[in-house]
A = this chain, B = another copy of it.
Amino acid sequence: MRLVTLKSAAPDGRLAVLSADHRRALPVDDLYPTLQAALDEWNVALSRLGKRAALLSGGRCEAAVPFEAGAAAAPLPRSYQWLDGSAFQSHGDLMAKVFHIDNPQSDRPLMYQGMSHQFLSGTDDVELPSEADGIDFEGEFGVITDEVPMGVGVAAAAAHIKLLVQINDWSLRTLAPIEMKTGFGWIQAKPACSVAPIAVTPEELGGGWANERVALPLNVWWNGARFGAANGAAMRFSFAELIAHAARSRRLCAGTVIGSGTVSNDNFRDIGSSCIAERRAIELLDEGAPRTQYMRFGDTVRMEASGADGKAPFGVIEQRVVAPRLAAVR
């Protein structure tokens, strides 16, 4: 099943199921006004929404509307919890080099709590305060859970993965190392993330969902130029392991979003990267100094996973970074 959240006047938008060809959306807000409401009783919701999806695929469904990406908000326009891992070893190694930090990678997953009160759509302009902050994208995969009990084990955690998503975890690189040095994690360096329009149930990916990892390439373009195509299969820790890590001393609420961290593969010189900082780290290794600069206002990034059928299961993130439209209130 494929779910989208249509933009509306309501802060959480309007839930709809999407056809297999991504062309028609059937609003289901008579069942569940929002994706959060469906996640709150997912086992019931899955069956109820599945019937609507079957209706839509049957073709005789007058309530369906044409779907285009600009009509979609993030699947969860806001959530009570966003926990982002850093589960790709090659990314961790490279970032440690470029930021001159000890590589903290160990037998424990790396994870931070990020801002969750606003997830941007995959098409709206992204307002950020300053080019001087080192604006960077980070292509990731993510999962959305139902409620997870405190202390859940890895095996049981896997069953709490209900939906898969594709994320751009915007990062401000000039601020990141300053905040990391405090040990407190990031506030200023991690503004709102963007999320591709379509949340899919795991079985929708077929072999693209394996070992609790999204085993698909994440294709990235920066200003139209191909930047990377790393595969999500290389996660050192699976999403089930990330969930168990997160739930060590807390229950997780339904609608918790868990991120993979920047998708990265060992053969980064061939396959490219999913963020600029990683390319800079490679340049540092290969040429002695980073050469690629971070994003400028007006730059675009496009991110699109490709499934076995050549289609983009999560739809596309394609958006522009821009200066703030309103002057800050001092």
Contacts and interface: CB of A to CB of B under 8 A. Distances in A.
Interface of A: 78-81, 83, 86, 101, 104, 108, 110-118, 127-129, 133, 149-153, 155-156, 172, 175, 178-189, 191-192, 245-246, 248-253, 256, 324, 326, 328-330
A129 B224 CA distance: 50
In this complex, the member of A83, A104, A128, A184 whose beta carbon has the largest number of chain B beta carbons within 10 angstroms is A184
The A contact surface, by secondary structure, is: loop
Nearest to A255: B117
A108 B185 CA distance: 14
Contacts of A245: 187-188
Q: 10 tightest CB-CB pairs across the interface, nearest first?
A: A185-B185, A151-B328, A153-B330, A180-B183, A80-B117, A117-B253, A104-B182, A112-B184, A188-B248, A156-B329
A148 to B, nearest CB: 9
Contacts of A180: 183-184
Contacts of A79: 80
A149 B249 contact: no
What's the number of copies of this chain in the assembled complex? Answer: 2
Contact of A328 (B118, B150, B185, B186): B150
A103 to B, nearest CB: 10
A188 to B, nearest CB: 4
A83 B150 contact: no
B182 A110 contact: yes
B115 A81 contact: yes
B108 A178 contact: yes
Contacts of A324: 150-151
A125 to B, nearest CB: 14
Contacts of A104: 181-184
A155 B117 contact: no
B183 A152 contact: no
A117 B150 contact: no
A188 B110 contact: no
A180 to B, nearest CB: 3
A324 B250 CA distance: 11
B183 A181 contact: yes
A153 B328 contact: yes
